Amino acid sequence: MTGRLRVGVVFGGRSGEHEVSLMSASSVLANLDAHKYDITPIGITREGQWYSGENALQAFRQGKPESLERVAILGEPGRRGLFRWSGAGGFEKAVDLDVVFPATHGTFGEDGTLQGLLEMADIAYVGAGVLASSVAMDKALFKQVMRAHNIPVVDSSLVFSTLIAADPEAAVRQAAQAGPFPLFTKPANLGSSVGVSKCRSASDLLEGLIDAARYDRRVIVEQGLEAREIEVSVLGNEEPEASVPGEIVPSDEFYSYRAKYIDDASELRIPAPIDEETAEEARRLAIAAYEAIDGAGMARADFLLERKTGKLYMNELNTLPGFTQISMYPKLWEASGLAYPALMDRLIELALERQAQKDRLLRTYGGAG
């Protein structure tokens, strides 16, 4: 026993953001203090198999996960740890885990599914719980919650993939209810701008719907604004704090996947060159949105700042934001006085605090029937 906290870092997964997850995991692993933590990297393939072992991240990058050991986290309380597949046809404990840090993005990692497994296994984990994860991940449902809390969002409509396949013209008519062109089509449950299209005409709109429907059964269509992209990082459980705002100046027409991860030409302005009143409003709305979905641990709030009116619109709340070297979440906290390694420590502390709260809850009821 080393006395260090045992941290499992989970990455990869069955998502269009698999590659982004590998980039995030690289930064997380590099910034977790090996003097404080026993770190176990855990990779999930695109097909959903779990692997672990020395240099696991490198093996995933090389497309050779089968060189590692097959593992699993079992949805069974009281056995907090990672299990290896034994030759006897069962699982045996490989390593104990005190906390899991999901460096996963998108479906089966950020949408509450992985969080649900960790809840069943009774293992502390970094980030939002099942409910907040799933609400924030679903862009359509998230907007409904924001509207219920008087947090401004852009006009939108929702189109099912079944309608797009069965009656494309009807799908376009329904999508166009979001407002005048340009419109944005997005998979309802994905991030990193995967499957996002900017549409200027009905033909563009149909193409955008078809593309987004490749990634999700529900497609959200949003009104396009002439706007600046402002982001705020949120940290905490019941008493969240907001960072200084930052601005993204994308190299593409919008902050596309290419602009985020490929061409390295987008500009990050930290702090954002906005007036103090707007900055404070962004921070206030970020915390309000976080509390509205019962956020925990962390989230990055993405806003659209309309150029014409100066009005802020909540765009998204990312409960497992990117942790790559170019990602806004850690950069905004660095600018707010919290260095990357200290941010990792705080996120793990918050995960353990939340688990301690759950451990104190009663799971049985002895009252009269």
The reported pLDDT for the residue numbered 250 is 81
Q: How far is CA 117 from CA 66, 216, 284, in A?
A: 23, 22, 32
- The per-residue pLDDT for range 124-171, each reduced to its tens digit, is 999 999 999 999 999 999 999 999 999 999 999 999 999 999 999 999
Q: How confident is the model at residue 194 (pLDDT cuts 50, 70, 90)?
A: confident
Q: How confident is the model at residue 1 (pLDDT cuts 50, 70, 90)?
A: very low
The reported pLDDT for the residue numbered 258 is 55
Reply yes or no on whether the pLDDT at 261 is more than 60.
Answer: no
What average pLDDT score do residues 319-340 get?
93
Contact at 8 Å (CB) between 226 and 313? no
Distance CA 10, CA 105 (A): 10
Query: What is the residue-wise DSSP string for 126-147?
Result: SS--HHHHHHHH-HHHHHHHHH
Q: What is the mean pLDDT of the chain?
A: 92
Higher-confidence residue: 264 or 35?
35
What average pLDDT score do residues 75-104 get?
89
The reported pLDDT for the residue numbered 265 is 66
The reported pLDDT for the residue numbered 252 is 62
Segment among 6-10, 187-191, 306-310, 351-355 with least mean pLDDT: 187-191
Reply yes or no on whether the pLDDT at 254 is more than 60.
Answer: no
Query: What are the structural domains, with CATH classification, of the chain?
Result: 5-125 (3.40.50.20), 143-151+226-356 (3.30.470.20), 155-223 (3.30.1490.20)
Distance CA 9, CA 40 (A): 6
Q: How confident is the model at residue 85 (pLDDT cuts 50, 70, 90)?
A: confident
Contact at 8 Å (CB) between 6 and 244? no
Distance CA 213, CA 217 (A): 6
What average pLDDT score do residues 8-16 get?
94
- The per-residue pLDDT for range 212-234, each reduced to its tens digit, is 999 999 999 999 999 999 999 99
What average pLDDT score do residues 60-83 get?
93
Contact at 8 Å (CB) between 313 and 225? yes
Reply yes or no on whether the pLDDT at 26 is more than 70.
Answer: yes
What average pLDDT score do residues 38-65 get?
96
Q: How confident is the model at residue 264 (pLDDT cuts 50, 70, 90)?
A: low
Instruction: For the full predicted model, state whether its pTM sits above 0.95.
Output: no
Q: How far is CA 366 from CA 4, 78, 361, 362, 369, in A?
A: 38, 22, 14, 10, 9
* Helix (H) and strand (E) counts in the chain: 12, 18
∠ CA 224-226-230, rounded to 5°: 95
Q: How confident is the model at residue 256 (pLDDT cuts 50, 70, 90)?
A: very low
The reported pLDDT for the residue numbered 365 is 81
What percent of the chain shows pLDDT beyond 70? 94
